[in-house]
Amino acid sequence: MANIDDFKANLIGGGVRPNQFRVTITPPAGIAIGLDVRRTSFLVKASLLPESTITEIELKFRGRTIYMAGDRAAPDAWTTTFYNDTDFMIKNAIERWSNGINDFALNTGVIAPADYQTDLTVEQLDRDDTILKTYILKNCWPINIGTGIALDATTENTLEEFEVSWRYQHFEASGVNF
């Protein structure tokens, strides 16, 4: 019969902590957005590791249902939550990026995907900042700069936060792709 010592012996490294992560937002090549990449990594409050879904094909045969593997499903948008600082550096940069894709006033913007898409990275870290797993989200761009930041005179003891949703084509994962 298994005991607590067996469990602990099989939980390598004491397990992975969800608060030990780093997200790197790399600016696109074709739009000057004024993003401090290192500072931005510190101000990411939350994110998710990307999901992966393989669809299924349902076949009927003589009263039974048989399932076969289908194609890989298109990924859902990936979301990051940022703390807002007093110079609005990240929010301004993401808004510049979005505006460079499609200008608010003129309805113009860069056309070539290489000008507005870039690879973003999320890394799962150990408690000593050793990288345990890396995900590279390929060909990303912001599709939604969250709902508006609520301004409320009765709010105290908190910092502003905002979310950004990103579209990406696929991801590469360490230990799987590279």
Question: pLDDT digit string (tens) for 71-84?
Answer: 999 899 999 999 99
Give residues with Cβ within 8 angstroms of 174, minimum separation 6: 131, 133, 134, 135
Alpha carbon 31 to its chain centroid, in Å, reads 20
List domains and CATH numbers for the chain.
17-173 (2.30.110)
Alpha-carbon dihedral angle through residues 150, 153, 158, 163, given to the nearest 10 degrees: 10
Give the pTM: 0.88
Give the pLDDT band of residue 125 (cuts 50, 70, 90): very high
Q: Could you tell me the CA-to-CA distances from 8 to 15, 18, 55, 65, 68 in Å, in that order? A: 9, 18, 36, 41, 37
